[in-house]
Chain A
Amino acid sequence: MLPELGQMALLIAFVLSLLLGTLPLWGAQRGNVALQLTARPLSFALLAAVTVSYILLTMAFVQHDFSVAYVAKNSNTLLPVMYQVSAVWGAHEGSLLLWVLTLCVWIAAVAVFSKNLPDVVHARVLAIMGLVALGFLAFTVITSNPFERMLPAPLEGHDLNPLLQDPGLIFHPPLLYIGYVGFSVAFAFAIAALIEGHIDTRWIRWARPWTNVAWAFLTLGIALGSFWAYYELGWGGWWFWDPVENASFMPWLVGAALLHSQATTEKRGSFSSWTLLLAIAAFSLSLLGTFLVRSGVLTSVHAFASDPERGMFILAFLCCVVGGSLVLFALRAPKEAGKPFQWQSRESLLLLNNLLLTAAAAMVLLGTLYPLLADALGLGKVSVGPPYFGKLFLILMAPLVLLIPFGPLSRWQRENLSDIARWLAPWLALAVLIAVIAYFRAPQHPLKSAMAWFSGIWLALGTARFVWHRFAQSQGRFTAEIIGMVTAHAGVAVFCFGALMTEGLSVEKDVAAKPGQSFEVGDYRFTFLGVTEVAGANFIAQRGDIQIGIGERHLGILHPEKRQYASGGSSMTEADMHGGLTRDLYVALGEPTDNAGGWALRLHVKPFVRWIWFGAILMALGSLIVIFDKRFKRKGHEA
């Protein structure tokens, strides 16, 4: 009975989104205020309907209602309650419902916080978001109904994919979705502006906090996914250039460009059509990500069970949304206005930042789709791997790293870059000096280690130089916007240092260990004590005991596991690590090597690896701090 109610709620939501997508838009065209005002109540009703549907699906999981096909496929009675709740978004149908729910939460949030907007803009923005919701609800109802019954009901379900039975993965999809979907706000504002026919810096000021929140969540989502891969997948890597990772990384890059160009357009009026295009692109890439993951076009470890019919549906939807908005853009994009600027100015630097970030996104897009292109043209099956992505990405990001400290120090409109160069020169020299020392002292990969020290120190000191400049010049007046920017740029410094140090100085050893044997990796000592069998809630594990130490000091005992889940399938590796600020010690269990208790072990020492995620958290935090700036709190309709 309850699943049918859930389905009913989903259908009601579909009708509500149809109304939300049409009535206010029509009202806005006709100047009918009554119709425009339907937007807000319809938004709330839509959220309510989708929430009911979502809660009912969760209840089906918690009550083990295996007559629902989706529940039977992704849960079983042994599954811990925490994972029963998160299993809702563990596969295609449910995660799509979560997508829709997230979108409806954003719609309702815009409805609540947009009271100051003119009714027409308000109606258009909500209606456009309603149309996006309509597309996704149609997709859910037509091709991916999570409430479909399976009769007779099986007594026991399969299991949630063991890979997903991890606390980190509970929050990874919701965070990502909040980010993805959040770009729909900037998108809706861009489309509303294009329909309106002229761009008003007010809408940009209005859209900026939303973009910042979306980007911050996307950053956290990606970072969490990367951290999960690091400790769950068992070999200590943190980024794989996997098609699905790329799918989330492209909107992130374009989103980062959008943050900067929105700020420019809001303050100076420059780049207005470029900002509109980026807003469209950021959301389009989020949709493209959804398409790539679910259509089966690209093979990937993350891919959901794919289905050509679903692929066609999303492709059609993608064409409507992206094609439609780009047609609108071609017809109505505003002429470049804005205040004039010289080439030595903050505008130019921001333009350069935008070009580098979008070029990086284009590079990732090309690399991700190239295998498909080659296949379509009959050039054979090709894979594009980390060598391509890693090198090109480094080449594109290196100038960005060099330029970051210049941006905040420069002035709008015109600037004498040689002044700034003079301020920064000592710090640049210091960074180079340290990099040279690092180059000659590095035990391996000297270039990477030099780049790590250079980028970390240059970015940190360059940003600090700006803070000092600010103290000296404007009596230490720091707005939330500036504090946020400094935090995020410091995050980039921390990230670059961590990423390059890990890449350059990690030591790994694969060994065949006998009980009692010790191994030296870097300065650390790993002693293998043996493997015992332990039982978990829904799995049996081989559990290793490895003592770690440095010199005379014992640091503790690590317990990597190899798990076999009761529901069958291949075994899972649970690595264990001793984390620290300056290094992680990481142990993963391989396979048994003989019958006398010998096992293959992977031992890693990873310097500064945690800084990668500290950096990401700082970037996200910085992006969030910006929204508390006074400029976004201004009431009323004034410009």
Chain B
Amino acid sequence: MIYLNAFLVAGTICLLGQLLVDVFKLTPGHVTSYFVVVGALLDSFSLYDRLIDFAGAGALVPITSFGHSLLHGALAKAEEMGFFGIAMGMFDLTASGITSAIIFAFLVAVFFKPKG
């Protein structure tokens, strides 16, 4: 069942993204940014956590989960450290994603040449 849920949830998120690009003429940069913000907003009242329980990777793989992780990390650290924890914990959960993006981008740039 979770496979179907994953398919439906991730598919719906991608459909929204495609509509933003085609109908509202937004650039891929806009869409990515909006999705991060929406994911962060949905972390309120643990809405996004419930979506993850429901759809698994269907909610974890799209970029919305990045926004969710940003806020999640920030709030967790804030509970522990107070106000400054927001800044300290912001990238806790997303550190591995950001680091691997940088490393893989570096490796690809070193070993491959674009064909144009």
Q: Do A and B come from one complex?
A: no
Question: Measuring CB to CB, which residues of chain A are less than 8 angstroms from any residue of chain B?
Answer: none
